[in-house]
């Protein structure tokens, strides 16, 4: 009977510390991580469609100069810096979790959340400034092509919704971390949240380049 139990034990699937399941095709990637990658690929198609539409409209109609029309790039450049820093703090939070450093994990995660919240606050200020000082709305622009304003708010607003979703997601992860769910180094859920946050940051770099700089 012991021998039989020993034989069955060899057939069991073992999970690594991060919570991923060994799989012949996906290695140690957990089902949640695979699902997140699939979601991000489909979400990237949505952003690609928006940026492609922006590029087509810009090439076929008279287009305002982005830097002049948006009042410069200093504010948006600082927003970009914030998101890049928040990606770094997210990596450090996951690393602290791997080393079972709960305090470090919580502190870095909180810093990541703060970076996202600051980004949203600055974006709200930018929208207010553009609407009241630059004459822009979702369907009109006082100094030129209205499609410029429409595509600007559509693309940046769509990304802003993703940042808001990411902040709420990370707040939920912070609650789980504070409750001790990741105390044993099981960082899989935190890493999945990190994938989404890194995606949001990467997309903003593309949006910043296409909308503000080109």
Asked whether residue 170 is assigned to any structural domain, the reply reads yes
For 8-12, 24-28, 39-43, which range has the lowest pLDDT when averaged over its residues? 8-12
Model pTM?
0.81
Asked whether residue 32 is assigned to any structural domain, the reply reads no
Which CATH number fits the domain that encloses residue 58? Answer: 1.20.120.80
* Region class of 140: left (phi > 0), else alpha (psi between -120 and 50), else beta: beta
Asked whether residue 5 is assigned to any structural domain, the reply reads no
Asked whether residue 175 is assigned to any structural domain, the reply reads yes
CA distance 151 to 48: 13
pLDDT of res. 20: 45
Look at the chain and report how many structural domains it folds into.
1
- DSSP run (H or E) holding 194: helix 188-207
pLDDT of res. 75: 86
Highest mean pLDDT among 1-5, 61-65, 71-75, 118-122 belongs to 118-122
Asked whether residue 23 is assigned to any structural domain, the reply reads no
Give the pLDDT band (50/70/90) at residue 144.
Answer: confident
Asked whether residue 180 is assigned to any structural domain, the reply reads yes
| pLDDT above 90 coverage of the chain, percent | 49
Asked whether residue 14 is assigned to any structural domain, the reply reads no
Structural domain harbouring 177:
46-213
pLDDT at residue 1 greater than cutoff 80: no
Asked whether residue 25 is assigned to any structural domain, the reply reads no
CA distance 96 to 101: 5
Residue 52 neighbours by CB distance under 10 Å: 11
pLDDT at residue 185 greater than cutoff 90: no
pLDDT of res. 28: 63
């Amino acid at each position: 009977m012991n021998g039989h139990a020993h034989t069955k034990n060899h057939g069991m699937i073992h999970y690594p510390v991060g919570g991923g399941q060994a799989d012949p095709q996906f290695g140690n990637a957990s089902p949640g991580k695979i699902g997140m990658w699939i979601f991000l690929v489909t979400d990237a198609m949505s952003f690609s469609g928006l940026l492609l539409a922006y590029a087509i409209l810009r090439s076929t109609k008279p287009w305002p100069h982005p830097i002049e029309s948006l009042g410069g790039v200093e504010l948006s450049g600082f927003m970009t810096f914030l998101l890049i820093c928040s990606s770094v703090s997210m990596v450090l939070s996951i690393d602290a979790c791997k080393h079972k450093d709960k305090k470090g994990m919580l502190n870095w995660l909180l810093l990541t959340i703060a970076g996202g919240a600051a980004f949203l606050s600055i974006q709200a200020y930018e929208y207010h400034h553009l609407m009241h000082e630059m004459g822009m709305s979702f369907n009109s622009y006082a100094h030129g092509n209205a499609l410029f304003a429409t595509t600007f708010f559509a693309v940046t607003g769509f990304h802003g919704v993703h940042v808001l979703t990411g902040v709420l997601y990370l707040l939920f992860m912070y609650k789980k971390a504070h409750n001790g769910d990741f105390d044993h180094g099981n960082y899989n859920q935190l890493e999945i949240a990190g994938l989404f946050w890194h995606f949001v940051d990467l997309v903003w770099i593309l949006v910043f380049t296409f909308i503000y700089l080109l």
